[in-house]
């Protein structure tokens, strides 16, 4: 069996090449060996296939990582290593060709090579290419430089949306305004967006079909809204759980009692056991945030006890506290041995 060439060698780049270098190297080879500019040249066809396979792997971070660590063996059985190029020249008469790419932005690359028909800088121009191009899956359908236009899914749009701590916890509806950057003179569109209960900071919501329009009869792209969740005083969220601190008076810590703790559902009363220590954690089951996957499941709230030490004492309180200290020392002889005694 013929040994496969190194992908970096095929593209003529070093193993430390970054994304742009890989893309630039492939663009150069694709322009040189593309079948539409080398009709009937089998050698060019093979070089194009070879370069495309290499780019398919090296432009995909996961596949590149496997290849860098294990070589071709690391890609066996994974899509794209041999199937990334797909069924080239699938018709018997050679007039119809199909290429299937799984990595990289082929519209961008071939737009630079053959003009704007592949989704280049001006999406309103077609430069002689019709019904030829890459669809939303990266598959190229071509009949050379003739035909009747082609379809391509529109680009996705990205935006950001801010919500409060409680809005993220319980869910809400927001009204956003959309303006197509390609047609700033058009009327802006208002859209109601549902924020699911339990969404975390940094997560995105996909609104299908709300991106830029596609080429030909291609479907529009999507709108991806990145959600920023605000903070709430006294509460800290980690996943579905909430963390807070409860300040407990010194006397309550000694004798036990109750303390009021804020939660997203309102204040609750926690029972403090006698002799509780600072740093003790109390778990409030089901007082956390709802799960996005299962609305019947909620996280917990964890309350950390922090004992308040009196900053000022009146003479009577100071005297009583001294008596308390002596009483404790009398009941615990070890405090009077070795390390000194109470004053």
CA distance 210 to 25: 34
What is the per-residue pLDDT across 49-70, written as a single tens digit (0 to 9) for each?
899 899 989 988 888 988 888 8
222 and 240 together in one domain: no
214 and 241 together in one domain: no
243 and 201 together in one domain: no
What is the per-residue pLDDT across 237-257, written as a single tens digit (0 to 9) for each?
999 999 999 999 988 998 999
Tell me the HSE value of 26 on the side-chain side, using a 13 A CA sphere: 28
User: Has residue 142 got a pLDDT over 60?
Assistant: no
Strand, coil or helix: 315? helix
73 and 105 together in one domain: yes
Quote the pLDDT of residue 283. 96
What residue has token string 């309550």? 252
Tell me the three-class secondary structure of 111-135, residue by residue.
HHHHCHHHCCCCCCCCCCCCCCEEC
CA distance 71 to 93: 36
Strand, coil or helix: 62? helix
- What CATH number is attached to the domain comprising 240? 2.60.260.20
333 compared with 189, residue with greater pLDDT: 189
Do residues 302 and 241 touch, judged by C-beta distance below 8 A?
yes
Quote the pLDDT of residue 204. 93
Phi-psi region of 285 (alpha: psi -120 to 50; beta: other; left: phi over 0): beta
Choose one of 142, 173, 200: the last residue of a domain: 142
Do residues 335 and 322 touch, judged by C-beta distance below 8 A?
no
Q: Answer whether residue 272 is part of any domain.
A: yes
187 and 212 together in one domain: yes
Q: Answer whether residue 147 is part of any domain.
A: no
CA distance 109 to 114: 9
Domain encompassing residue 243: 236-309
CA distance 156 to 154: 7
Band of pLDDT at residue 25, cut at 50, 70 and 90: very high
CA distance 200 to 205: 11
240 and 225 together in one domain: no
Quote the pLDDT of residue 86. 38
β-bridge partners, 260: 269
Domain count along the chain: 3
Q: Which two structure tokens, joined as six digits, stand for 332?
A: 């615990």
Q: Which two structure tokens, joined as six digits, stand for 306?
A: 């922090």
CA distance 265 to 287: 7
64 and 113 together in one domain: yes
Do residues 192 and 223 touch, judged by C-beta distance below 8 A?
no
CA distance 89 to 299: 55
Q: Give the number of other CB atoms < 10 A from CB of residue 299.
A: 20
What is the per-residue pLDDT across 268-302, written as a single tens digit (0 to 9) for each?
999 999 999 999 999 999 999 999 989 899 999 99
Quote the pLDDT of residue 327. 84
CA-CA-CA-CA dihedral for 96, 102, 106, 109, to nearest 10: -120
Rounded to the nearest integer, the mean pLDDT of the chain is 77
User: Has residue 264 got a pLDDT over 90?
Assistant: yes
- Sheet containing strand 157-163, strands side by side: 157-163, 223-229, 204-207
User: Has residue 147 got a pLDDT over 80?
Assistant: no
Burial of 249 (0-12, 13-18, 19+ CB in 10 A): middle
110 compared with 12, residue with greater pLDDT: 12
Average pLDDT over residues 183-195: 82
Helices (runs of H) and strands (runs of E) counted in the chain: 8, 14
Quote the pLDDT of residue 324. 83
118 and 13 together in one domain: yes
198 and 259 together in one domain: no
197 and 277 together in one domain: no
- Exposure string of 7-34, with b = 16+ CB inside 10 Å and e = fewer, is bbebbebeeebeeeebbebbbebbeebb
Report the alpha-carbon angle 198-159-136, nearest 5. 100
Quote the pLDDT of residue 323. 86
296 and 193 together in one domain: no
């Amino acid at each position: 069996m013929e040994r496969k060439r190194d992908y970096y060698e095929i593209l003529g780049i070093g193993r430390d090449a970054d994304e742009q270098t890989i893309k630039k190297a492939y663009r150069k080879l694709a322009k040189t060996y593309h079948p539409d500019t080398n009709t009937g040249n089998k050698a060019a066809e093979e070089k194009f296939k070879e370069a495309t396979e290499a780019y398919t792997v090296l432009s995909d971070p996961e596949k590149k990582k496997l290849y860098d660590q294990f070589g071709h063996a690391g890609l066996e059985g994974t899509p794209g290593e041999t199937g990334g190029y797909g069924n080239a020249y699938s018709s018997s008469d050679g007039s119809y060709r199909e290429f299937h790419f799984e990595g990289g932005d082929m519209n961008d690359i071939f737009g630079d090579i053959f003009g704007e028909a592949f989704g280049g800088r001006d999406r309103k121009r077609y430069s002689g290419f019709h019904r030829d191009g890459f669809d939303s899956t990266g598959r190229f359908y071509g009949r050379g430089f003739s035909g009747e236009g082609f379809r391509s899914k529109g680009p996705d749009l990205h935006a950001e949306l801010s919500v409060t701590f409680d809005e993220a916890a319980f869910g809400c509806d927001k009204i956003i305004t959309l303006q197509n950057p390609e047609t700033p003179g058009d009327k802006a569109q208002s859209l109601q967006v549902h924020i699911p209960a339990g969404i975390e900071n940094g997560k995105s919501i996909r609104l299908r079909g709300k991106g830029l329009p596609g080429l030909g009869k291609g479907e529009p792209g999507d709108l991806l809204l990145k959600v920023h969740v605000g903070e709430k005083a006294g509460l800290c969220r980690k996943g579905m759980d909430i963390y807070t601190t409860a300040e407990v008076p010194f006397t309550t810590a000694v004798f036990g009692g109750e303390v009021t703790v804020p939660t997203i559902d309102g204040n609750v009363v926690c029972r403090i056991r006698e002799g509780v220590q600072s740093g003790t954690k109390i778990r409030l089951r089901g007082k956390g945030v709802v799960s996005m996957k299962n609305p019947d499941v909620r996280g917990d709230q964890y309350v950390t006890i922090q004992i308040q030490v009196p900053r000022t004492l009146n003479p009577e309180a100071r005297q009583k506290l001294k008596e308390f200290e002596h009483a404790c020392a009398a009941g615990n002889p070890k405090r009077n041995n070795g390390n000194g005694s109470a004053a």
